[in-house]
Amino acid sequence: MQIYIYCTTFSLCFKGYYDIICVMKIGNIEIKNNLILAPMAGVADMAFRELCIDYGAGFVVGEMVSAKGFTMGDRKSAELLRLSEKEKPAAIQLFGTSPEIMGEAAKEATRFDPDAIDINMGCPAPKVANTGAGSALMKDLPLAKQIIKSVVKSTDLPVTVKFRTGWDSESVNALELAKICEGEGAVAVTVHGRTRQQMYAFPIDYGTIAEVKRAVNIPVIGNGGIRDVQSAVKMFNETGCDGIMIAQGALGRPWLFQQIAAYLNNTIILPDPPLESQMLTMIKHIEKIVEYKGEKVGIREARKHAAWYLKGTRGAAAYRRKCGELNSVEDLKKLAAEVLINANNQNDM
């Protein structure tokens, strides 16, 4: 399996929004640009992934799924692996500690027709890391190597690996793990520029990502702390990475992909969309969640998304409380109308 990257000097038209300057190709899959939506359990579900693709993400990664749960027939795990045609190209992500089970899960997951399989070696959550999976694999590189080998052997799909800079500041070993990934046939790596000890805190360690980039010949995707166009550019400039992966920066702001692409392609600084469009995007997003999960479950999950969309608006604290009380799409539409009326009144004052 081979991965090709070609940064083009020509431009390709993408959905009429803007041009693309950098195309990535993983095996036989063409990724229309190098802006990738990160996997986010409980957040980056099918509805959000489709929305981010609409706003220009070139590739998306599904929520992490336990290889053990999935191979034991857990219905919820299988549900998480489902991908829609609208969100392609997309990877699914697996986590686990057993090379055999990870391999078996990779083989079985092929029926969901993913374009790639990503292995999670970065999750810091105790319920994952305490079992030896996720970021804990950075403390056991021989096991990490066996897992990658087994997954690569079990599938014809391209395999990628996502990990942190290391377990803690005393044991930064992303470089070593990246070389193992390359040696075992992974076609790309994502390096999250934080240790497990840091969880989600700043600063981002751009230096280690840059070192990884210099040391391997497979594409390196830089991740961590990308919240706006400036931090996206900083990730590219400081690390030389081939692509960037965005997680929290896109929450309540899926248009961030469009803004970054507009800047990278044409040095255009797009402002945030007007509040009215933001509210329409929020409604469209939450209607999709409800369509896919039903109103009862969907609205419960959508409350946090609504709060993210309203973050930064005047009166956000009060709106956040109201988001927690949403019970239907109708409630959401009423809240959006209230936000717009209040904003107009404030503008008139």
Ligand X SMILES: Cc1cc2nc3c(=O)[nH]c(=O)nc-3n(C[C@H](O)[C@H](O)[C@H](O)COP(=O)(O)O)c2cc1C
What are the strands of the beta sheet with 3-14, ordered from one edge? Answer: 3-14, 18-26, 29-31
Query: HSE-up of 71 (CA within 13 Å, CB side)?
Result: 17
- Please confirm, yes or no, whether 22 is among the known catalytic residues: no
Closest CB to ligand X among 64 and 218?
A: 64
Task: State the Cα angle at 313 between 307 and 314, rounded to 5°.
Answer: 120
d(CA 54, CA 255): 9
Closest CB to ligand X among 248 and 313?
A: 248
d(CA 7, CA 4): 10
Beta-bridge mates of residue 161: 119, 189
Shortest distance, CB of residue 116 to ligand X, whole angstroms?
A: 13
Query: HSE-up of 142 (CA within 13 Å, CB side)?
Result: 0
Closest CB to ligand X among 38 and 229?
A: 38
Shortest distance, CB of residue 233 to ligand X, whole angstroms?
A: 15
* Residues making contact with ligand X (CB under 6 A): 38-43, 63-64, 93, 120, 122-123, 162, 192, 200, 223-226, 246-249
Residue 155 — φ and ψ, nearest 5°? Answer: -140, 150
Closest CB to ligand X among 63 and 115?
A: 63
Closest CB to ligand X among 41 and 141?
A: 41
Shortest distance, CB of residue 319 to ligand X, whole angstroms?
A: 21
d(CA 39, CA 206): 20
The residue annotated as part of the active site, out of 7, 22, 52, 123, is 123
d(CA 43, CA 196): 20
Largest CA distance in the chain: 66
Residue 5 — φ and ψ, nearest 5°? Answer: -125, 135
Catalytic residues: 123
